[in-house]
Structure 1
């Protein structure tokens, strides 16, 4: 990996919840050395606030969006929308790579140096637990962008990503296999379990990891690994900390708001304003909803210039990474994959009654009761499409469930992502390949 030059000089909290004082000492000249709990908390804040906004870009590759050819930023997103990943023009926005490893560098500093410098305390344990959790989260996103989807029969040989676990900035890293990466993700999760002190985080600080967020994330990891029993166990543990759903029959609150009763981890801007201004909701996404009875429809979309804009995301208050609705859908899918049809239906019905008009809920419940395994899996997949629109799930769901054929149109010309297309996995960015011949 390219040598990382990072000046640890001052910290700005972009999430608006906490402020951090400047570091106290400068040793040696020009480089600030964190020494106190407050210093290391500031470093952790930098790792959080610098976490990449890759989910906005991956949304352009899905069936959620149409691109606006008249938008100011059209040129920087056009080739992403076309799945043109090789020989991109210089205007095209690159998927993040170094940004991930920058956050990981800060995390490694907290784990390695903070572990030695800071005296034992509850605060130190919480901070170090968050560092392990966020590192696992970063490796999970990286391996699901730049490696094949997890497959138990091939994961031991599938080439994945480098694991940066040390502070040696001169070390040239080699890509590990997918299995090695997932093993490290679980090691970090397990370490975080022994350290995290906060069961949940209060609103405004819920960009930080808690026990609820950790177990919910672990459930997601197990879901992607198709370890259904483990996914169910982690889901139950997460729901023990937080289980509320927004009832859209009585509330107009978006369920993905950081202030929502559903919010577990509110770290990411999953549909940032530049992409939002350059895109519309696709017909496929809009048609997935029962516009007359699905209470999410008017909260998610707004008509603009004859098209529909996505309004559920793209604002500071709409930061979201994990929320309780995901846990109910993991419960439903994992139970179904274990052929426990009767166990798969209740969590799904719990979500339905909070998302559809009360008058139609009995009808939907009856339809769910009549479904066999195949029909119910299709319904769960469609419900994930609706529920998590523009929250960053769709590209990963398409990769792991069904790498379907997608057609995008730009100015009358069609571009096609074929079924099981190799482009469902991103190539390493060109700059990363130039800086590391091992990639």
Structure 2
């Protein structure tokens, strides 16, 4: 669905990307370089530019692999096989450095999304519509770009900065904010976390106000922006907003939980009823050996395996165990457990589900629990538990016991989807690192629960500060 584009005419020159990546500039016209001020000049170029931003999310340096793998590997949901290709080895060993190529890849790709989304926004906002219908379309497309920019800022700040609640006023180091197109080289310093979240919330609000589509296959919609808003609010500890947005998504009627008996459809079928926003991977988008399927599938690398530690948290008749495949890895573990949430494996890249309805129930449950509304939290938690196991018993826990249960349910429901390290860190929990049969516990607070600023960025940007501990 998304044409993979090279970048040759986007007028943003900043040391974040210019020194590290040679393909940052958006190619609209394949025959010639388009002047930056004319890169988005009509409906077709607006759509092309926006599709170019979506295509960046497919990258193995972003949702195509790294942001799924790293937060799980640095916690207790994944470990590397004894026979692996060396991918993410430092994350498994908890010895990540500023020279790590995957850290650099994340940084470059996410800032490329910010730069190109800003180009779409700037160009799209200048377009003059010929009709009401066309204006609705322009607003929808520009709204999607605002949502993409919010998503990239959010992912950057949770990867490279401590959680919002790390300091009482969120004044600790965040990440550089990019919300406009620059015609000169810049060396942006790191803003504080509070201001980064202000930017994220502003972009989400604009996205919701501009968009009209409640659901749009493979693209952001009002539902997708509200799902993002709920997740952001939870991380920001704005629990009233988390409840409001998750409730709007749940009650919209646009999305429905997949039934227990059809649980396999959740991963096998694209654009199913539970999927709020997913990234499309067509045959032409196939990333081959760099894809998630190849990374997890026993027919591919099967680099990362599922530890017994998480398997033992499920009841034997929990349907979610079907997303974990038992078997032997040739030449390595003879009793292994493989991730099965990407069932196309090595044959073709699966669509990447960024937001789905089950998470919204868990967001609301956590927000209810933290605002002393245990009964409502118990109801939402039970909804997810009963989908997994129809005979699940009524939840009666309150207080810290209820929060422990919610975090456990998030671990089980959202396993291998890139949430675990963030869930532990923002809840000020210790993290258990698992390497096959070995376990080590890393205590909160911890400098190494977030990633280092890449060395290439530090060398290119004199105003950049490194994270403590690196």
* SS class of match (2:338): strand
Q: Is the 8 A contact 1:57 1:80 kept in 2?
A: yes
Q: Is the 8 A contact 1:108 1:166 kept in 2?
A: yes
Task: Tell me what 1:272 maps to.
Answer: 292
Q: Is the 8 A contact 2:75 2:434 kept in 1?
A: no
> 5+ residue gaps in structure 1?
11-22
Task: Tell me what 2:342 maps to.
Answer: 313
1:405 & 1:151 partners in 2: Cα distance? 17
Task: Tell me what 1:254 maps to.
Answer: 266
1:160 & 1:167 partners in 2: Cα distance? 20
1:328 & 1:243 partners in 2: Cα distance? 12
Q: Is the 8 A contact 1:257 1:263 kept in 2?
A: no
Task: Tell me what 1:20 maps to.
Answer: none
1:404 & 1:65 partners in 2: Cα distance? 16
Deviations, residues 119-164 of structure 1 (Å, cap 9, x unaligned)? 3611100000001111011100100011110028544421110011
Task: Tell me what 1:164 maps to.
Answer: 178
1:83 & 1:320 partners in 2: Cα distance? 27
Of 139-148 and 104-113, the range deviating more from structure 2: 104-113
* SS class of match (2:261): coil
1:105 aligns with 2:115: yes
1:115 aligns with 2:125: yes
Q: TM-score, normalised by structure 1?
A: 0.86
1:127 & 1:47 partners in 2: Cα distance? 12
2:51 & 2:367 partners in 1: Cα distance? 34
Q: Is the 8 A contact 1:35 1:118 kept in 2?
A: no
Task: Tell me what 1:46 maps to.
Answer: 52
Q: CA deviation at 1:214?
A: 0.9
1:330 & 1:256 partners in 2: Cα distance? 24
1:24-423 to structure 2, matched below 5 A, reads 26=32, 33-51=39-57, 52-53=62-63, 54-55=66-67, 56-71=69-84, 73=85, 75-86=86-97, 88=99, 94=104, 96-119=106-129, 121-151=135-165, 153-168=167-182, 169-201=184-216, 205=217, 207-241=218-252, 242-254=254-266, 258-267=270-279, 272-273=292-293, 275-276=295-296, 277-290=302-315, 292-304=316-328, 305-313=334-342, 315=344, 316-356=349-389, 358=390, 360-361=391-392, 364-365=393-394, 368-369=395-396, 371-409=397-435, 417-423=442-448
Change in 2 beyond 3 A, CA 1:252/1:146: closer
Deviations, residues 259-308 of structure 1 (Å, cap 9, x unaligned)? 32100011389981354221110121111111x21011023333333111
Q: Is the 8 A contact 2:279 2:351 kept in 1?
A: no
1:156 & 1:372 partners in 2: Cα distance? 28
Q: CA deviation at 1:27?
A: 5.0
2:158 & 2:358 partners in 1: Cα distance? 21
Of 79-88 and 249-258, the range deviating more from structure 2: 249-258
The CA RMSD over aligned residues, in Å, is 2.7
Change in 2 beyond 3 A, CA 1:417/1:265: same
1:89 & 1:131 partners in 2: Cα distance? 29
Change in 2 beyond 3 A, CA 1:348/1:37: same
Moved over 4 A (4+): 27-32, 87-90, 92-95, 268-271, 412-416
Q: Is the 8 A contact 2:46 2:123 kept in 1?
A: no
Whose relative contact order is higher, 1 or 2, with alpha carbons under 8 Å and at least 6 apart? 2
1:29 & 1:136 partners in 2: Cα distance? 26
Deviations, residues 95-129 of structure 1 (Å, cap 9, x unaligned)? 51011111111111111122213536111000000
Q: TM-score, normalised by structure 2?
A: 0.81
Change in 2 beyond 3 A, CA 1:256/1:155: farther
2:52 & 2:152 partners in 1: Cα distance? 14
The number of residues matched between the two structures is: 411
Q: Is the 8 A contact 1:256 1:323 kept in 2?
A: no
Q: CA deviation at 1:33?
A: 3.2
